[in-house]
Structure 1
Amino acid sequence: MWNINDASLSNSMKSPSLQWVSRIVIYSTLYLQCSSTVQMTVGPPSNIHIKDLGTLGLLEITWQPPASMNNTSECPPRYELTHQVVNEERWKSVRVWHKTYRDAFDLGKNVVIKMRTYLKGPCTEEKEVWSEWVEMNYPAPLQGTPESKVKDFKCINEKYETLKCEWKAGELGSRSNYELQFWQAEMSQKKTCTNYITLNEINIGCDFRREKFEFFSDLFICVSGTPGTDPIQPSYFIFQLQNIGKPGIPENLTMTRGTSDDIVVEWTKPMGRLPAHCMEYEIQSKNRMNTWQTVAMREENKYSFNTSKLCVRVRGRASMYCANDGYWSEWSTEVCWSEPSFRLPWLYCVVAVIMAGLCVAVCMYTVKKKRQWSKKLQYKAKELVYDIDPGHNPKC
């Protein structure tokens, strides 16, 4: 009886109508499972505000969770924020849990900030859910004409001790002049340059002299117009001192003969605040009639040559381990090497020995002659005495 029922059940499962019903049930189940995760959506951050902190480039962005989110205990939202990096073409992207973010921006340009919400957790069945991007703009100030801005702005940190910034003047009104303000995180408030570099009574630079700045900390600078005069469109700059440093000239460049008949070139680190492990050097050499050629880039203050009759010079800058950029120092005074001639000292020695021998011979000859003349004078004196007094018999 069991065999009969099994056979009938097998035949019924092979009927076309029952196969279609089975397919519909399976596909419906899969669709419901997929749709349950797809239907989970999230909105972008709300109430986004951008605030200028009055420090010449530091902005603070605040926001609130998406308005559609009521219960976030199972799935606390994260936020992704992206914006363009100062002085670069690339964009920076960060993810944060909190609802505030600070960073440096070039306020001389329109600041564009994009944000979206990110969810992952039990509420999304551990799947990633993203909101749409929302974009915020912080417009640049519209004062002064673009032609009034400074041009070719450049700062150099000489020997990593003294900062100096210079620029070229734009098109100014008869009553206009430039003013430089600066700020760093260690300062309680922004400051104004007190020692300007001028040309025809127009400020074209600032010598910071004894102003102390911190390495690895953003320095914010704004060059705009002096208060009460015709407006000048401001220019904003952000950099770190280790990236604009120019070390001093490498010192005490010497060349000596090594143990393997090679020529060893050595020098000492230039004076300044930059540590020795942060320096790298470029070594150039040439024969006496050739042009300079770079032979090595080294972090040590020593290099060996397997040739002679050459001239060498060295310069230095901050290495990639301590700075993203920087200026090369001036070249050191060149030092040249040539093989010493060993024949000339031997010739001097031979001549000296011969001269000494001649001097000794002359001295001996002179002493001998003096003795002979002395004896002759004694005989003459005796003969003279005998002639005067024949009876006197002098002793010999």
Structure 2
Amino acid sequence: MIFFLQFFPLFVRFLPMANRSGALPLLMLIFLTWRGGMPCCAITVDPPEDLAVLDSGRLGRLEIVWRLPSSLMNMTKCQLQYQLEYFNAYKNKWEVLRTLSTTYSAQFDLSKDVQVKVFTILNGECTNNKMIKSKDYSELLVKPPNTGIWDTEATDFTCMYHNMENLECIWTSSQRTPASAQQNLFFWHRLLEQAVECPSYIFSGGVRKGCNFTGKPLPEFSDIYFCVNGSSSEGPLKPAYFSLQIQNHVKAAAPDKLNLQTRPDRHLEISWENPAGKFSVDCLEWEVRHHHVGADGTILSKQIHARNPSLTLTFNNSSEINCFKVRSRLNSYCVDKSIWSDWSPETCHPEMKNIEPTVEPEMTLVSVYIYIAVAIVAILMVSLCVWAAINMKKSKPGKKVDSLLPKLIPKTLTLGVSKICSSKKITTDVMV
């Protein structure tokens, strides 16, 4: 503008000359083009002010708030918007968006730094309809609270959505977790106002190791956030945060009722029923494990992928043995990732009869007592014989072993023991 005021007298002086020479229209066009391209030097675009984050107890769902810059409070001829950038620790990348509002809700991992940047953007008549972004920005960096015993956070957090009906989540306690610790699980999703605690804990050895969500439905295709924290006599445990969508953790039940049927054209039809559950049949895929024993005894095994709950194979002769088992999972068209079910029981053609092992009859309690009594009596008799032999060596030659027995055992056993002892040949000579 100052440049225009300086050269305006020269422009007015040159105007009659341009009019006489016919160059006036060209001169006016150049002037208008130059004027339209002039920068809006009078407008300064400052970054937002009073940037802050507010925690409302939703496990990292924070409200980012700011205020428009004071220099633009009276701006009426321009549209004011903001460019928000924040670091998403769950995805390990910066998220960038533009908004007309001065507040935005975003999810953060509270165990890591909260990083936020906000720019101011002007666009409209005051900028000749050109978008101008502030060179500077407001920035916020919030460190996670340094609370909890070091290295006591839970690890290996995994969830299993059985048949899309029952969700179970388990975790592993740190080796540094005190024995007196009591761990807790809290979760939050978009349908909850506040984070809530696990409805039913899973125990192992009297210690909480997981959570069962039976009867507590959770939304599918929606991020669910978990926090495992705890307390102990030594102080609070370090919290750990996790995020997942439950439809990516479905484990279907094993297929059942596997049927085999032969056809006259030497084809073998295998079919099975879909596992029970609320998932769509179109979302299922199967894997068939085929175990083949040929007529010459050769054994082959292979995996067969199936899109339908049936399969048809050829077989050469009736002396072959074909065995099958099946498992299922949700395909990639329905979920981002899936888990294979357990294998179904194996079914063979021709049917193989299992030979049950012969079970030896169990010893009764009475027979055990008899065996023990016989063993005790035998040990006692042998011990007496040895003791008697030792005493014979010390006594006079004319003294007999039988004379000692009535003092040691009842009369009913004296005769039997005497016979046993007298039948042994006792040698007192020693050869050198």
Residue 325 of structure 1 is matched in structure 2 by 337
307-316 or 161-170, larger mean C-alpha shift: 307-316
Q: CA deviation at 1:143?
A: 1.0
Question: Quick one: structure 1 residues 305 and 110, their matched pair in 2 at CA, closer, same or farther if it must change by over 3 Å?
Answer: farther
Counterpart amino acid of residue 223 in structure 1:
V
Counterpart amino acid of residue 332 in structure 1:
S
Find the partner of 1:64 among 64, 67, 73. Answer: 67
Given that 1:41 and 1:129 are in contact with CA atoms closer than 8 Å, whether structure 2 keeps it comes out as no
In structure 2, distance between residues paired with 1:80 and 1:307: 67
Counterpart amino acid of residue 59 in structure 2:
L
Paired residues, what number?
Answer: 318
Residue 247 of structure 1 is matched in structure 2 by 252
Residue 50 of structure 2 is matched in structure 1 by 47
Find the partner of 1:180 among 171, 180, 185. Answer: 185
Counterpart amino acid of residue 251 in structure 1:
D
Q: CA deviation at 1:242?
A: 1.2
In structure 2, distance between residues paired with 1:194 and 1:204: 14
Given that 2:149 and 2:235 are in contact with CA atoms closer than 8 Å, whether structure 1 keeps it comes out as no
Counterpart amino acid of residue 178 in structure 1:
Q
Pairing of 1:165-314 with structure 2 (within 5 A): 165-170=169-174, 171-193=176-198, 195-226=200-231, 230-256=235-261, 264-285=269-290, 287-288=292-293, 289-293=299-303, 295-296=304-305, 298=307, 300-305=308-313, 311-314=323-326
Given that 2:288 and 2:305 are in contact with CA atoms closer than 8 Å, whether structure 1 keeps it comes out as yes
In structure 1, distance between residues paired with 2:259 and 2:126: 72
Q: CA deviation at 1:200?
A: 4.2
Question: Quick one: structure 1 residues 265 and 87, their matched pair in 2 at CA, closer, same or farther if it must change by over 3 Å?
Answer: farther
Counterpart amino acid of residue 116 in structure 2:
I
Counterpart amino acid of residue 195 in structure 2:
K
In structure 2, distance between residues paired with 1:75 and 1:58: 32
Given that 2:182 and 2:232 are in contact with CA atoms closer than 8 Å, whether structure 1 keeps it comes out as no
1:94-131, CA deviations, whole angstroms, 9 ceiling, x for partnerless residues? 32222221122211211222322333333333433223
TM (norm. structure 2) is 0.62
Q: CA deviation at 1:265?
A: 4.2
In structure 1, distance between residues paired with 2:158 and 2:325: 27
Q: CA deviation at 1:249?
A: 1.7
In structure 2, distance between residues paired with 1:270 and 1:173: 43
Residue 93 of structure 1 is matched in structure 2 by 96
Question: Quick one: structure 1 residues 169 and 75, their matched pair in 2 at CA, closer, same or farther if it must change by over 3 Å?
Answer: same
In structure 1, distance between residues paired with 2:229 and 2:187: 11
Question: Quick one: structure 1 residues 32 and 126, their matched pair in 2 at CA, closer, same or farther if it must change by over 3 Å?
Answer: closer
In structure 2, distance between residues paired with 1:233 and 1:66: 39
Question: Quick one: structure 1 residues 191 and 32, their matched pair in 2 at CA, closer, same or farther if it must change by over 3 Å?
Answer: same
In structure 1, distance between residues paired with 2:138 and 2:267: 66
Given that 2:201 and 2:208 are in contact with CA atoms closer than 8 Å, whether structure 1 keeps it comes out as yes
Pairing of 1:76-115 with structure 2 (within 5 A): 76-85=79-88, 87-115=90-118
Secondary structure at the aligned position of 1:316 is classed as strand
Q: Is 2:130 the counterpart of 1:127?
A: yes
In structure 1, distance between residues paired with 2:213 and 2:54: 29
Q: CA deviation at 1:224?
A: 0.8
Counterpart amino acid of residue 334 in structure 2:
C
| Identical residues among aligned pairs (%) | 29
In structure 1, list runs of 5 or more residues that go unmatched.
Answer: 1-12, 14-24, 339-396
Q: CA deviation at 1:37?
A: 5.8
1:337-388, CA deviations, whole angstroms, 9 ceiling, x for partnerless residues? 57xxxxxxxxxxxxxxxxxxxxxxxxxxxxxxxxxxxxxxxxxxxxxxxxxx
312-321 or 235-244, larger mean C-alpha shift: 312-321
Secondary structure at the aligned position of 2:115 is classed as strand
In structure 2, list runs of 5 or more residues that go unmatched.
Answer: 1-17, 19-27, 294-298, 351-432
Q: CA deviation at 1:234?
A: 0.3
Question: Quick one: structure 1 residues 130 and 186, their matched pair in 2 at CA, closer, same or farther if it must change by over 3 Å?
Answer: same
Given that 2:40 and 2:126 are in contact with CA atoms closer than 8 Å, whether structure 1 keeps it comes out as no
Q: Is 2:151 the counterpart of 1:147?
A: yes
Q: In angstroms, what is the RMSD of aligned CA positions?
A: 3.8
